[in-house]
Structure 1
């Protein structure tokens, strides 16, 4: 039945609640969509992507798609705690694949990037370079993966007995700059900051330069999700690197398995790697 619906609509829907300027500048979901389409397109399926201002408009879009037969399946991203979209999608009986933690996916098939393990790796990377005062510039706190990263960051820092601070951003370059400026004004300012995306890390680099704080001699910066922007910044940004097109392709494979009637629960994406570039010291400056 799921496959016959998809054959009728021949479309997979994916929506994002983001400010348009952030979505246009952030490469993650462009790379993700490319990977997704690389798997689905050879099977005759297309992906429709919408950027919307609120979750309420997302839900209204899901209802319209169902009523008009516009799409045959949904890829759901950016899960929130107690996400209001999940019961609606249950009601609409559309095939769904979640990109997120299976624990928050309401038993829909999920592709999980293990954000907790990735954060542990990021903290360990900075600890190994001698840092003992760390900060985390997060995404919006309503998002489940943000909470996962925050929890892992706090726990790893506590276990290591090092100082930890956290400030929320909204994935924009400006929010990364503002958060970094706040952290640099603290009397116990950190020597290393982990950012939840590349745009905020670029903003952090700008803020450090404006404050006259040398990177990496006085401050190390680590972006989440590698990108060309990380590689081209001055100095180039170190990054927690996912193979984002591969995650999109894995999501496409999971959708095809769902259409074929497989009873999937969770699929794990490949582990991250930490790419060391110019914003983190290659030797232990801080020991």
Structure 2
């Protein structure tokens, strides 16, 4: 719920946006459904308040910081949204220096005292690993997102810890959320003795790339290789076979972030909001 305004709080400035400087390869972003749905959810809350979302896609963290400084200096935004942060990320300190109301999509440690919305990725990863072990897999692979990101570290750490608890082997593949990263992971399996029989991906686009490459190499999915995507989307549901996925309502997550943004713009004390964890939806790509 968005907090009701009182006489001591600041109303959002109608027509002035909140800024999101997103560090992403433009080509990857174009293929990834997550941010389209996420921003749609935020706008469902913020646009009726007269607060649009200003998205700027940049290549590096330094470019993101430079853009944030320019926005603040020119009065172009009245608040900011931070996502895909690194541990000790410079952007957390920067918004404090700029005096800019900000919401982080990430874990509370990375948020550094700012308002944050956390999706409990560690809970979801624990459930996925347990389900794959219950399905009889004894060697699991994780195709991760960019290794430096805090949520990638959390997912990877949980993946290895839970697999160790169950006494199963693990192999990690570096990825960048692109379809090509999924292709590379499946191609790499040929060089691994006693290869993983199940792969967990940090997004749906990489999982689709893996599915296409498995088909090209003559690997049966799921008879030879089980695949599990993250951030369930129509892409997963329309694949053949349909991809099992760690699923959550991305637009609902965007609405939750929109509520948090409205609150910080109203001067509400920063808080931690815990979103419901994603849940595993089993489809035809895994056993």
Q: TM-score scaled to structure 2, two decimals?
A: 0.94
* Aligned match for 1:37, one of 35, 43, 60: 43
Which residue pairs with 1:266 in the alignment? 272
1:72-120 deviation line (CA, Å, top 9, x unaligned): 0001000112212111111101000000001111100100001111100
CA drift of 1:2 comes to 8.1
Indicate the structure whose relative CO is greater, using CA pairs within 8 Å and at least 6 residues apart: 2
In structure 1, list runs of 5 or more residues that go unmatched.
282-287
The answer to whether the 8 A contact 1:14-1:76 is kept is yes
Secondary structure of the structure 2 residue equivalent to 1:258 = helix
CA drift of 1:184 comes to 3.9
Which residue pairs with 1:101 in the alignment? 107
* Aligned match for 1:3, one of 5, 10, 17: 10
Runs of 4 or more consecutive aligned structure 1 residues displaced over 6 Å after TM superposition: none
The answer to whether the 8 A contact 2:21-2:68 is kept is no
The answer to whether the 8 A contact 1:8-1:72 is kept is no
Q: Number of aligned pairs?
A: 280
Which residue pairs with 1:89 in the alignment? 95
Which residue pairs with 1:253 in the alignment? 259
1:51-88 deviation line (CA, Å, top 9, x unaligned): 11111111110011001100000010001122121111
Which residue pairs with 1:285 in the alignment? none
Q: Report whether the alignment pairs 1:65 with 2:71.
A: yes
In structure 2, list runs of 5 or more residues that go unmatched.
1-7
Q: TM-score scaled to structure 1, two decimals?
A: 0.94
CA drift of 1:9 comes to 5.9
- Comparing 8-17 with 62-71, which one deviates more in the overlay? 8-17
Report the aligned-residue RMSD: 1.4
Alignment of 1:220-259 (within 5 A): 220-259=226-265
Alignment of 1:115-194 (within 5 A): 115-194=121-200
Secondary structure of the structure 1 residue equivalent to 2:80 = strand
